[in-house]
Amino acid sequence: MCISSVLLTGISKADNPAQTIAAPHTVALTFDDGPSPIYTPQILAILKKYHIKATFFMVGSNAKLYPEIAQQVVAEGHAVGSHSMTHPMLTKLSDAQLYREVVEAENVITQVSGLKPLCLRYPFGASNAHVRQYIRDHGIIPVPMGFNSFDYDRPGTEKIISWLLKNLYSRQVILMHDGYDKREQTVAALPAVIEGIKKKGLGFSTVCDNSWPYSDLSA
């Protein structure tokens, strides 16, 4: 999904910076907007080839449409987060609408995938104090987008690779996408991105699971 450049700060003053970092000496690969019957399996195959675990922030409606793909993500040992039910701008919703996007999405993803998402990443990177508190009040950790790959702009495989590797750093949480739109450039870029991370001497970790040291509601 397209994200306005106004929202690409990655983290607001009200967010906990800890919630945008991976474990020490690692990078966390994360994928939003899936699951997709086309691109998610391709990404899973690449991750399996490299023996890497990633984090998939699922949209509830997509998980409901493609339950077998959601289940495959979990079966292959990846972490799961929520990315809302229908990918709206959460800051424009009433509390009744937030309930569907936050609570019902969590329930659907849990029922479909078999794994309860600990976190919700805001669609479009958009949040405010009320949205963040609403998410916390329902026992879910609100997380910002992390480092944006801009793969949704489809700038070309080489540009995605060079942008990410040029800006690579330890404890980085990289935002990529596996759903909604054409993601063939993301798929094509992923092996080179993984190789580049490895050449930097960095490992790989997940976020929003029990191994993540920032799984709390204190933000």
Among 32, 33, 178, 209, the one annotated catalytic: 32
Q: Cα Rg for the chain, rounded, in angstroms? A: 16
Whole-number pLDDT of residue 215: 54
Whole-number pLDDT of residue 93: 98
Whole-number pLDDT of residue 213: 67
Residue 199's CB: how many other CB atoms inside 10 A? 10
Among 33, 177, 178, 209, the one annotated catalytic: 177
Q: Decide if 51 is catalytic.
A: no
Domain boundaries, the chain: 17-205
| Contact present, 86 and 101 (Cβ < 8 Å) | yes
Average pLDDT per 10 consecutive residues for the chain, totaling 219 residues: 33 46 92 98 99 98 98 98 98 98 98 96 94 95 91 96 96 94 96 98 92 58
Supply 122's token pair. 């805001």
Residue 148's H or E segment, with its range, is strand 147-148
Phi, psi of 203 (to 5 degrees): -95, -165
Instruction: Please say whether the structural domain 17-205 has been given the CATH code 3.40.50.300.
Output: no
Q: For the residues of 3-17, what is the DSSP string, one character each?
A: --GGGTTSS-TTS-G
What is the pTM for the complete model shown?
0.90
